[in-house]
Amino acid sequence: MRTQVVTIHDVARAAGVSPATVSRVFNGGNVTPARAQSVQEAAAALGFAPNRVARSLRKQRSSVIALIIPDIENPFFTSLARGVEDAAQRTSLSVVLCNSDEDTDKERRYLEVALGEQMAGVIVAAASRDETDLGPLTARGVPVVAVDRRPRDAEVDAVRVDDRHGGEVATRHLVRAGYRRIACITGPAGASTSEERLAGYRAALHSAREEGVVGDDAYVRHADFRVEGGRAAMRDLLALPEPPDAVFVANNLMTIGVLDALGEVGRTPPGVGVLSFGDVPWASLVRPSLTAVELPSYELGRTAADLLLQRMEGSASPLQTVVLRTTLQVRESTAGPLTN
Amino acid sequence: MRTQVVTIHDVARAAGVSPATVSRVFNGGNVTPARAQSVQEAAAALGFAPNRVARSLRKQRSSVIALIIPDIENPFFTSLARGVEDAAQRTSLSVVLCNSDEDTDKERRYLEVALGEQMAGVIVAAASRDETDLGPLTARGVPVVAVDRRPRDAEVDAVRVDDRHGGEVATRHLVRAGYRRIACITGPAGASTSEERLAGYRAALHSAREEGVVGDDAYVRHADFRVEGGRAAMRDLLALPEPPDAVFVANNLMTIGVLDALGEVGRTPPGVGVLSFGDVPWASLVRPSLTAVELPSYELGRTAADLLLQRMEGSASPLQTVVLRTTLQVRESTAGPLTN
DNA sequence: CCTGCCGCTGAAAAGGATTTCATCCCTTGA
DNA sequence: TCAAGGGATGAAATCCTTTTCAGCGGCAGG
């Protein structure tokens, strides 16, 4: 129950040196080998573990980096997290994960924690394009990388995918497959990914006007990037006088809800075309197989971490935005309306 | 780039009081209302944000709690994490998540971080029953709760499910459904959940000997609690001269691998019975529907957090282990070998 | 032999908050 | 009216480590 079992002073006393020397032993200063060894031994004997809080206070920087994601239950983000971890693994930094739950308040709190705990760096997939404020962090010189989602006006490095282009390619694919009433279920209006993917959808529809494709916002729904939101939005679309014959769903979890809603009314792909932006988790179990825009989630995380590490090492190169490519993986769920 | 933009001293000077008074304003000490207000105003005007590191150093305790889980890509653990978060939400504590990746080294590192960062508490789903050492934390009086998995000899509160009983009920169900060569794919030998679920399986088989059920360790496989491990183990079982006609899979992700492996050779449940310990994520999409032992993952997290919070508030009641019940949810995948 | 330099070392300051302790002043009860 | 008590306040100690600075001793070059 003692508070600090053993400090650097105790080690110093045991080894017959000053605390400064003990510190140098553990931080690579110049110390005579013999003395260094006796310090090591004393530390081991006493079970000394450095107080990271005191160290952070003095160094004005801790040795952990924060990864703030909006939905820990979305495999896309956990895969991204793995990428970040694996990149950090090679350094002495630890990664802690914070789940903002798409809630800007929670997110703000975590950003405050990151600032107050003097974290060495922050990677954030922003809950909101407008409300996420990275200013305090950047103002204090904390390296920050925005991943997947880009807060507006933030002066930070960024890594994302070509959302707009991916959305356009996906929608065009539905057009070519023969669908004519193509709906879009996208995410919350505040998120950059929602907007971009929707923009891609709109662009594709716009250029397909002559082909008799309905381009109408009556077929656009904003949901919450979660299963339930997708389900509700799909139900809503199905209740239209003239329901869509295909749907472009802007993320993986909402696609699950969409498939559920379709199942409820006995309709299945590809009779109704379903195209997911982002692979549905464990898609191998889903029948029919799902056409999806594949996202390099792991690489997104790894790239973000690499960028962050560069900045932490003092790189002063101008801010950069890395855009990773998505690829459309065509499978059975968009085989066309006529086949069914 | 300034290190500490504004400290409690700056606020004190601006408000014409001492730093002690500023501290009291933010920590609920006795301060004259008028003075308190002028401090608040000064703090707001200067954009003061308390340095949590300094605070932690002085208080010998930070205001974050760590949740260490072995697989961030397993929805079981992310759901558990949500439970922890929601419970912590009601306090001023923040939760950070650490992914040990079933790796005792990574886990040890995170435990060191938790100790060194003087975290207010730790909830851990141990990567190993024997190698996970919670001693340093408990020795320093940090409240610790073991969740889901129980490290041997650890002097901590624990929350888990009735793994053994659940495994027994599940296996008995397979027997009653008519399966006779029942395999078990369990997790790594070091994890308590692996062992317990396997023990339940063995107990059920043992008492079913007279019914012609094969109870033989040739049908037991240890895998890694992941998709690939499940797939490999199932392939291995299918290669036996007399392959099993049912399999009890000790976790959700391995079940996905099992289903894949079965699909590869054109066999599907319930021809081969498949029973999963823990619901497969987004099971609604899986056909046939899967019989599973349902686990209260969210409640596991919430209960663990509640226990932790009690300890942090100083509860001195004797150590307790809370065991939550599992329920067998019978569905199509174990309808019996004859129906197919 | 002297000077200068360099490497090693310890004393002490610094980092920013909380908390103890002493002080002051005001209120209340006798 | 006086004493006791209690609330509000500030000075200073404290938490533990890193880092600066100065000093010391030894070595090399002049």
Examine the domain organization and report whether A239 and A318 are in the same domain: no
Examine the domain organization and report whether A150 and A262 are in the same domain: no
- Supply angle C-alpha B231, B233, B234, rounded to 5: 65
Residue A124 placed within a domain: yes
pLDDT tier at A2 (50, 70, 90 boundaries)?
very low
For B336, list phi and psi in degrees, rounded to 5: 120, 150
What is the predicted pLDDT for the residue at B100? 96
Residue A107 placed within a domain: yes
B54 pLDDT higher than 90: yes
B21 pLDDT higher than 90: yes
pLDDT tier at B3 (50, 70, 90 boundaries)?
very low
3-state secondary structure of B184: strand
Beta-carbon-side half-sphere exposure of residue B25 (alpha carbons within 13 Å): 25
Query: Closest chain B residue to A264 measured between Cα atoms?
Result: B284
* Residue B286: CATH number of its domain: 3.40.50.2300
Query: Closest chain A residue to B262 measured between Cα atoms?
Result: A285
- DSSP state string for B81-139: HHHHHHHHHTTT-EEEEEE-TT-HHHHHHHHHHHHHTT-SEEEE--S-TTT---HHHHH
What is the predicted pLDDT for the residue at B290? 96
- How long is the CA A55 to C1' C12 vector, in angstroms? 17
Residue A225 placed within a domain: yes
**Residues of A from 11 to 30 whose C-beta is within 7 A of strand D: which are they?**
19-20, 22-24, 26-27, 29
Strand partners, A94: A64
3-state secondary structure of B234: helix
What is the predicted pLDDT for the residue at A316? 87
Residue A3 placed within a domain: no
pLDDT tier at B124 (50, 70, 90 boundaries)?
very high
Rounded to the nearest 10 degrees, the angle between the axes of helix B33-46 and helix B8-15 is 120
Residues of B within 8 A of A5 (CB-CB) are: 139-140
Examine the domain organization and report whether B274 and B319 are in the same domain: no
Domain extent for A146? 59-161+297-325
Examine the domain organization and report whether A271 and A180 are in the same domain: yes
What is the predicted pLDDT for the residue at A132? 95
Across the range A95-123, mean pLDDT stands at 96
Residue B3 placed within a domain: no
Across the range B298-327, mean pLDDT stands at 95
Residues in contact with B278: Cβ distance below 8 Å, sequence separation at least 6, in sequence order: B76, B251, B252, B255, B292, B293, B294, B295, B297
Residues with CB under 7 A from strand C: A 16-21, 24, 29-32, 35, 54, 57-58, 60; B 3-4, 7-9, 19-20, 22-24, 26-27, 29, 48, 50-51, 54-55, 57-59
Residue B55 in tokens: 């605070």
Examine the domain organization and report whether A290 and A302 are in the same domain: no
- A vs B: CB pairs below 8 A: 148
Examine the domain organization and report whether B147 and B197 are in the same domain: no
What is the predicted pLDDT for the residue at A246? 97
Contact (Cβ atoms closer than 8 angstroms) between residue A167 and residue A200: yes
Examine the domain organization and report whether A86 and A200 are in the same domain: no
pLDDT digits (tens, 9 = 90+) for B4-19: 479 999 999 999 999 9
* Residue A18: CATH number of its domain: 1.10.260.40
Residue B2 placed within a domain: no
Q: List protein-proximal bases of chain C (any atom < 7 A from a CB).
A: 7-12, 14-20
Residues in contact with B110: Cβ distance below 8 Å, sequence separation at least 6, in sequence order: A94, B66, B68, B98, B100
pLDDT tier at B340 (50, 70, 90 boundaries)?
very low
Residue A2 placed within a domain: no
Tell me which residue has tokens 């105790």. Answer: A10
Alpha carbon distance A182, A115 (integer Å):
45
Examine the domain organization and report whether B150 and B167 are in the same domain: no
Examine the domain organization and report whether A251 and A200 are in the same domain: yes
Give the percent of chain B with pLDDT over 70.
98
Examine the domain organization and report whether B46 and B96 are in the same domain: no
What is the predicted pLDDT for the residue at A29? 80
- How many residues appear in chain A? 340
pLDDT digits (tens, 9 = 90+) for B70-111: 999 999 999 999 999 999 999 999 999 999 999 999 999 999
A156 pLDDT higher than 80: yes
What is the predicted pLDDT for the residue at A153? 86
Examine the domain organization and report whether B188 and B97 are in the same domain: no
Highest average pLDDT, of A4-8, A312-316, B260-264, comes from B260-264
Total domains in the fold of chain A: 3
Examine the domain organization and report whether A200 and A214 are in the same domain: yes
Residue A1 placed within a domain: no
